[in-house]
Structure 1
Amino acid sequence: MAVALKGLTDNARKTSISELNARLADSIALALAVKQAHWNVKGRNFIAVHELFDALHNNLRADIDIFAERVQQLDGVAVGTAEKVAQGSTLKEYPTDLTKAEDHIRALCERYRDHGEKLRAAIDATDEAGDADTVDIFTAASRSVDKDLWFMESHLE
């Protein structure tokens, strides 16, 4: 039996579930792109970039769990299978032919910027719907993505 969260309208719950699942798909796709880069990176500063990619992946994994758990709290179904993520992610497909660290960083930066923009849109949508707790979750994820983007862009200076 579902547990209704007091103070949330049905619209707020449905909006949040939809936004959470959309950002879940993008976060999983982005985490896999980071792993693709991690496994295949070569070049100057290899170990620093390789370890940076591990840290980025760990940050995304934390967001992924929080998004999925919030969907459950709202009595939804978290959708994160490979097939559904491939269908649902709005991020540009990650190239599999990159090896140079700078090329991977540029490709990831492009996707992080897009992801950050979509997180900020999700903040607005869930705020408008009246779910302050989900707003907080997206705000924390947005800050993390922005910080990780800054770390990567600093490598390109």
Structure 2
Amino acid sequence: MNTTTATGADILQDFSELADVRIGLDASVRSTSVRALNRLLAHTMAIRDAYKKAHWQTSGATFYELHLLFDKHYNEQVLIMDSLAERVQTLGGVAFALAQDVADESAIARAPRGRESARAQLARLLDAHETILIDARPLARASADAGDDGTNDLIVSQVVRSNELHSWFIGEHLAAQARTAD
């Protein structure tokens, strides 16, 4: 389908449409996986942005250490984001790409515009990782049950494992901050 929008832009595929791709999966399975992956993509885009905000605005005694950690995790979330978007496209879907998509789809709490303490940044990031992990695990199981091994592998090997590791690092920093505050 090729349509033209009010601004004159040619649309090759509407967001809600699924392209016919030959990867051995029924359209219903691919459609379900596309919706699930786009949700994880929106979460990943939200946490990526939270990491960059924290990277730019961290302060205090652990500034340098957190500044580097936040940037490392940001870059790793970018890689996950790219893998999720490419899987959506592989399944014949259209991947989320805009800030409005994130705002509409992700349940990750938005950070305030102001500068937060390192402790608040860490707590917010820990909550965001937990949101992703709570959503990702049942989506991985559902994709495996539907025979979509590629989506299952991506969710387990990249989304779950990376977010568990990031959550552990952030949790350890948060615990260390609590110990020094006592």
TM-score w.r.t. the length of structure 2 is 0.81
Equivalent in 155, 173, 179 of residue 155 of structure 1? 173
RMSD: 1.4
Which entry has the higher C-alpha Rg, 1 or 2? Answer: 2
The DSSP-based 3-state class of the residue aligned with 1:67 is helix
Residue segments in structure 1 that go unaligned for 5+ positions in a row: none
Structure 1 or 2: more helix by fraction: 1
Equivalent in 74, 93, 101 of residue 57 of structure 1? 74
Q: Percent identity?
A: 33
The DSSP-based 3-state class of the residue aligned with 1:134 is helix
Task: Tell me how far apart the structure 2 counterparts of residues 117 and 3 of structure 1 sit (CA, whole Å).
Answer: 30
Task: Tell me how far apart the structure 2 counterparts of residues 156 and 91 of structure 1 sit (CA, whole Å).
Answer: 19
| 1:116-131 mapped onto 2 (5 Å cutoff) | 116-131=133-148
Task: Tell me how far apart the structure 1 counterparts of residues 83 and 125 of structure 2 sit (CA, whole Å).
Answer: 22
The residue that corresponds to 2:45 in the other structure is 28
The residue that corresponds to 1:80 in the other structure is 97
The residue that corresponds to 1:142 in the other structure is 160
Task: Tell me how far apart the structure 2 counterparts of residues 113 and 97 of structure 1 sit (CA, whole Å).
Answer: 23
The residue that corresponds to 1:68 in the other structure is 85
Q: Which has the higher contact order (CA 8 A, sep 6+)?
A: 1
Number of aligned residue pairs: give it.
Answer: 156
One-letter amino acid matched to 2:170: M
Task: Tell me how far apart the structure 2 counterparts of residues 107 and 96 of structure 1 sit (CA, whole Å).
Answer: 13
The DSSP-based 3-state class of the residue aligned with 1:156 is helix
**1:103 aligned onto 2:120:** yes
8 Å contact from structure 2 (residues 73, 166) kept in 1: yes
Task: Tell me how far apart the structure 2 counterparts of residues 98 and 90 of structure 1 sit (CA, whole Å).
Answer: 21
- The Cα offsets for residues 92-128 of structure 1, whole Å up to 9 and x where unpaired, read as 2223334321221111111111111111121122122
TM-score w.r.t. the length of structure 1 is 0.93
